[in-house]
Amino acid sequence: MSSPLRIAVLASGRGSNLQALIAARDAGTLPVEFVLVGSDKASAGALDLAQAAGIPRLALNPKAYPSRRDFDLDLFARIEATGAELLVLAGYMRILDGEALHPWVGRMINIHPSLLPKYRGLHTHRRALEAGDLEHGASVHYVTAELDGGPVIAQARIGIEAGDHEDLLAQRLLAYEHRLLPAVVRLIAASRLAYAAPDGVALDGERLSAPLELRGDELRR
């Protein structure tokens, strides 16, 4: 058997997507080794989850650095030093410096709570509701220098229901995020997925014409 994929996770908040990855690993359905959980917030719940799971933790304070680039260069150098093969942004709320992230393009993914390219940035649930959208969703994409703009690997879609409000919609979507992110990492761990520069994704060596779709716990073309 090949060795598990070495992954690092960055998170700024509660870390429920991190927990979903840990749970999948624990269930034996995700062959990964967590080499680091990092955060820009010392109080992030994700760091507590990492501690409970025995994963090395790193909290760096952006205010201790003269610039965004200096912070990101130090952060990425520390991640690189762990031997991480994949970097997963799971609720990491800082914009990344384009030059600092460049060596990680193709090895870094992000989960974003919208059907990209719709609603890059913040308040995605509110914006979907205000637009009167009939459906909403989450996307996992390769990270490039363009905020929430890298090629989309896979999406989970849900219908917007009468009575949905911002928090409820976010909560309903989160349950799908928790299946979407492990499913994508599973494909990467199986060496089935690759970044096809500059704006594509390849599955089993074939360029995708559209993002994969989550059905149950599986990703389908």
Residue 112 known to be catalytic: yes
Burial of 159 (0-12, 13-18, 19+ CB in 10 A): exposed
Q: Compute the least distance from the CB of residue 205 to ligand GRF, in Å.
A: 29
Q: How many chain residues are in contact with ligand GRF, going by CB under 6 A?
A: 14
The Cα 210–Cα 58 span in angstroms is 36
Q: Assess contact for 143 and 96: CB atoms under 8 A.
A: yes
Task: Name which position in 7, 17, 144, 187 contacts ligand GRF (CB under 6 A).
Answer: 17
Q: Assess contact for 123 and 98: CB atoms under 8 A.
A: no
Nearer to ligand GRF among residue 43 and residue 67 (C-beta): 43
Task: Name which position in 4, 13, 31, 106 contacts ligand GRF (CB under 6 A).
Answer: 13
Question: Is residue 150 involved in binding ligand GRF (CB under 6 A)?
Answer: no
Question: Is residue 16 involved in binding ligand GRF (CB under 6 A)?
Answer: yes
Q: Assess contact for 221 and 203: CB atoms under 8 A.
A: yes
Task: Name which position in 72, 148, 164, 177 contacts ligand GRF (CB under 6 A).
Answer: 177
Of 136, 138, 177, the closest CA to residue 159 belongs to 136
Nearer to ligand GRF among residue 56 and residue 121 (C-beta): 121
Q: Which of residues 103-142 bind ligand GRF (CB under 6 A)?
A: 111-113, 138
Question: Is residue 41 involved in binding ligand GRF (CB under 6 A)?
Answer: no
Instruction: Give me the DSSP letters along 116-143.
Output: TTS--SS-HHHHHHHTT-SEEEEEEEE-
User: How far is the CA of 94 from the CAs of 121, 123, 132, 147, in angstroms?
Assistant: 11, 15, 28, 10
Question: Is residue 78 involved in binding ligand GRF (CB under 6 A)?
Answer: no
Nearer to ligand GRF among residue 17 and residue 97 (C-beta): 17
Question: Is residue 15 involved in binding ligand GRF (CB under 6 A)?
Answer: yes
205: left (phi over 0), alpha (psi -120 to 50) or beta: left
Q: Assess contact for 151 and 194: CB atoms under 8 A.
A: no
Task: Name which position in 49, 90, 140, 154 contacts ligand GRF (CB under 6 A).
Answer: 90
Task: Name which position in 10, 11, 50, 55 contacts ligand GRF (CB under 6 A).
Answer: 11
Which position among 112, 125, 136, 178 bears the catalytic label?
112
CA 184 from centre of chain: 9
For binding to ligand GRF (CB under 6 A), which residues are involved? 11, 13-17, 90-91, 111-113, 138, 174, 177
- Catalogue the active-site residues: 112
